[in-house]
Structure 1
Amino acid sequence: MIWLAAVLALVASPVVAQEMQYSDSATQSCLEAAESYGAKIDCAGASAGQCMEDTPGGYSTVGMGGCLDRELAYWDGLLNSHYKAAMTRAKNLDADRPASMKDVPGAAVALRDMQRAWIPFRDKACGYEASLWAGGTGQGPATLGCLLQQTAKQALILEPWG
């Protein structure tokens, strides 16, 4: 996971952290207006894009990395919230199962296993994205953009299950 260490080093710049003009509002407004899964997916990156526009040097490698990292944190929070809600629902479904089905793995186990399988998929997909940059300066922002997109997709997949 050398590429992940490089990404984390990229977003640790104190200069960008002090000047970053980031708000979740562009993504939140987009999601509120979106009526379908596809329209919601299109919202991923809205706040990062606005941040790049509003931040001096926002289109530099470090600026893009900082903006993308902040929106990734937004989607990660949404993913965790949706997963918790989906797990609560799954456990309730399992509790209502007939006694004859209690020994068969239920919805909560299936949800947990699905999420555990998704994490290595996300990491492999974004590792591939990183490899396309062959260590170039765009590797960090490309990797963060991939992590943002993959996390947004998973958050939105889990949303209706909660």
Structure 2
Amino acid sequence: MRLTILLAALIAVPATAAEFRFDPAPTERCLATLSDNAQGYDCIGRAATACMEQPGGETTIGMGFCLDAELGLWDDKLNGAYQALRADLTAQDADRTNAAISLSDSARDMQRAWIGFRDARCSFEAAQWQGGTGSSPAFLGCAVNMTAEQTLYLWSVLHGAR
């Protein structure tokens, strides 16, 4: 009887990250419904949270998979926002022939410094777990939040909503 219960429990919970399914729709729907004045912070983590509600999603493997997948979603959005902003700022720089500071170069320098800060901050978050199994989800959760926030910031600069 005990063996049957144990086997049933193991069958119901995915054993590897490959058995989880990530759907970006909760985050995408939230972003699609934003008004011009909304910032989008409430959208951060929605897809990862929905993913972690699957059987086994509360495990370290499940959390890692779900958070990493949402990180990829926001990282793609960040790269798109950054490229669009750099192109826009490069065009502005061409019109500012007497400007002492290049907007495009300044944005590049800001983004490079931000990457280092994000990585250091998230490493600090992970270090608080002292090498335990929570360190990976802690790092990924931090990276999701910071990457999403930076994406929202770049969008606000690009669209003049600062």
Pairwise same-fold verdict (TM > 0.5): yes
Contact 2:17/2:61, CA 8 A, preserved across alignment: no
**Structure 1 residues 104-135: Cα deviation after superposition (integer angstroms, max 9, x where no partner):** 23100110010011011101110110111111
- Between structures 1 and 2, the one with greater helix share: 1
Q: Could you tell me which of 137, 144, 149 is aligned with 1:141?
A: 137
Task: After superposing the two structures, state which structure 1 stretch, 16-25 or 111-120, moved more.
Answer: 16-25
- The residue identity in structure 2 corresponding to 1:95 is A
Structure 1 runs of 4+ off > 4 angstroms? none
- The residue identity in structure 2 corresponding to 1:133 is W
Corresponding residue pairs, total: 143
- The residue identity in structure 2 corresponding to 1:74 is L
Aligned partners of 2:120, 2:18: CA distance in 1, in Å? 32
Q: Could you tell me which of 101, 112, 116 is aligned with 1:116?
A: 112
Percent pairwise identity: 45
Aligned partners of 2:48, 2:137: CA distance in 1, in Å? 11
Aligned partners of 1:126, 1:108: CA distance in 2, in Å? 27
Contact 1:85/1:161, CA 8 A, preserved across alignment: no
Q: Which residue of 2 aligns with 1:45?
A: 45
Q: Which residue of 2 aligns with 1:87?
A: 86
Deviation at 1:149, TM superposition (A): 0.5
Contact 2:67/2:144, CA 8 A, preserved across alignment: yes
Deviation at 1:137, TM superposition (A): 1.2
Aligned partners of 1:17, 1:137: CA distance in 2, in Å? 15
| TM-score for the superposition, normalised by structure 1 | 0.83
Q: RCO higher in 1 or 2 (8 Å CA, sep ≥ 6)?
A: 1
Aligned partners of 1:18, 1:130: CA distance in 2, in Å? 24
SS across alignment from 1:63: helix
Structure 1 residue runs without a partner (length 5+): 1-13
Structure 2 residue runs without a partner (length 5+): 1-13
**Structure 1 residues 10-48: Cα deviation after superposition (integer angstroms, max 9, x where no partner):** xxxx953331121100001111223322xx112111000
**Structure 1 residues 38-59: Cα deviation after superposition (integer angstroms, max 9, x where no partner):** xx112111000101112x2111
User: Is residue 2:159 matched to residue 1:160?
Assistant: no
- The residue identity in structure 2 corresponding to 1:134 is Q
SS across alignment from 2:51: helix
Contact 2:24/2:70, CA 8 A, preserved across alignment: yes
Whose radius of gyration is greater, 1 or 2?
2
| TM-score for the superposition, normalised by structure 2 | 0.83
* Alignment root-mean-square deviation, CA: 1.5
